[in-house]
C-alpha cells in the first residue's frame, strides 16, 4: 500500500514527488510507534498508513487552514500546542513548517510533547514556489534546520535532501505548465493530453539525471529531517 494513494494532490504532473515522499515515509517507518502525533495534519491523508505502525493517531491542526481539516485537536501551531508534556512517541509534520510564522516555537513545543527517546520526522520544501499565500513565510537550508532543531533540544539531527537538481527542475516545469491550462473544458483536455507525455517522460528520466548532481542539498525540492529527544 503506497501512502500517497490517499493524497488527492497526486496527478500526472507531480506523481514523482509523491513517489519520493513514499520512499522517505517507508524509510522512516521503523521510528513510528505508540502514540503518533501528526502536526499540521490537514485532511489526514496518511492516517491509515501510519496506523499500520502505531497504536493510536492524533491529528493536530488549526481551524484557519486552507484545507478541509480532519484534526482531532485544534491548535495554533505557532503557539502552545494543546497536548500534555511527553504525549507522543512519534511526531510527524509534512510541508507545514514553511507556513508557520513562529517555527522555533513550533519545534520547542514539538520537543515538549515528545516522550524521551521519541523521534520526530519532518519535511519542508526548499526550491518551491510561494503557496497558500499569505501564510507562506520561510524556506530553510540544511544548516538552518540543524541549528533550529538543536536549539529546541533535539539530538542526532539528520537532514536529507529529497532529490537532485533535475527532479526539481522538471517538476517545477510541470507545475508551471499545468498552471497555464485554461479556457473551455475541451481545450483544457486537449492541452493536458498533449502535455501528459512530456510530464511522464520527464519524471521517468529525472531520477537517472539526478545521478549527475553531486550536491543534492543545493537545489533539492525539499528536505526530510529525523531527530530524537534525549
Q: Residues 228, 121: contact at Cβ < 8 Å?
A: no
Give me the residues paired with residue 120 across strands.
91, 227
Q: What is the model's pLDDT at position 1? A: 44
Q: Vertex 83, ends 141 and 117: CA angle to 5°?
A: 60
DSSP 8-state assignment for residue 40 = T
Percent of the chain with pLDDT over 90: 92
- Is residue 8's pLDDT more than 90? no
Q: Residues 21, 123: contact at Cβ < 8 Å?
A: yes
Q: Scan for cell 496527478, then name that residue.
A: 11
Per-residue pLDDT of 183-196, as tens digits, reads 999 999 999 999 99
pTM, two decimal places: 0.92
Q: What is the model's pLDDT at position 67? A: 62
Q: Residues 227, 114: contact at Cβ < 8 Å?
A: no
What number is the average pLDDT over the span 55-73?
83
Question: What are residue 222's phi and psi, to 5 degrees?
Answer: -170, 180
CA-to-CA distance for 11 and 9, rounded, in angstroms?
Answer: 6
Amino acid at each position: 500500500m503506497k501512502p500517497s494513494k490517499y493524497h488527492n494532490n497526486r496527478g500526472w504532473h507531480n506523481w514523482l514527488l509523491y513517489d519520493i515522499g513514499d520512499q522517505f515515509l517507508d524509510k522512516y517507518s521503523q521510528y513510528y510507534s505508540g502514540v503518533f502525533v501528526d502536526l499540521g495534519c490537514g485532511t489526514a491523508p496518511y492516517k491509515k498508513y501510519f496506523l499500520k505502525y502505531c497504536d493510536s493517531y492524533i491529528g493536530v491542526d488549526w481551524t484557519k487552514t486552507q484545507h478541509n481539516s480532519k484534526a482531532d485537536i485544534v491548535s495554533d501551531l505557532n503557539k502552545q500546542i494543546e497536548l500534555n508534556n511527553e504525549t507522543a512517541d512519534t511526531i510527524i509534520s509534512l510541508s507545514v513548517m514553511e507556513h508557520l510564522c513562529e517555527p522555533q516555537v513550533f519545534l520547542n513545543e514539538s520537543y515538549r510533547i515528545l516522550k524521551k527517546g521519541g523521534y520526530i520526522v519532518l519535511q519542508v520544501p526548499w526550491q518551491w514556489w510561494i503557496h497558500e499565500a499569505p501564510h507562506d513565510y520561510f524556506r530553510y537550508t540544511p544548516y538552518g534546520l540543524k541549528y533550529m532543531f538543536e536549539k529546541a533540544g533535539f539530538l542526532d539531527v539528520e537532514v536529507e535532501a529529497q532529490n537532485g537538481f533535475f527532479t526539481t527542475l522538471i517538476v517545477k516545469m510541470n507545475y508551471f505548465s499545468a498552471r497555464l491550462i485554461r479556457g473551455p473544458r475541451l481545450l483544457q483536455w486537449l492541452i493536458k493530453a498533449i502535455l501528459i507525455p512530456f510530464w511522464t517522460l520527464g519524471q521517468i528520466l529525472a531520477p537517472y539525471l539526478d545521478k549527475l548532481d553531486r550536491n543534492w542539498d543545493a537545489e533539492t525540492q525539499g528536505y526530510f529531517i529525523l531527530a530524537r529527544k534525549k
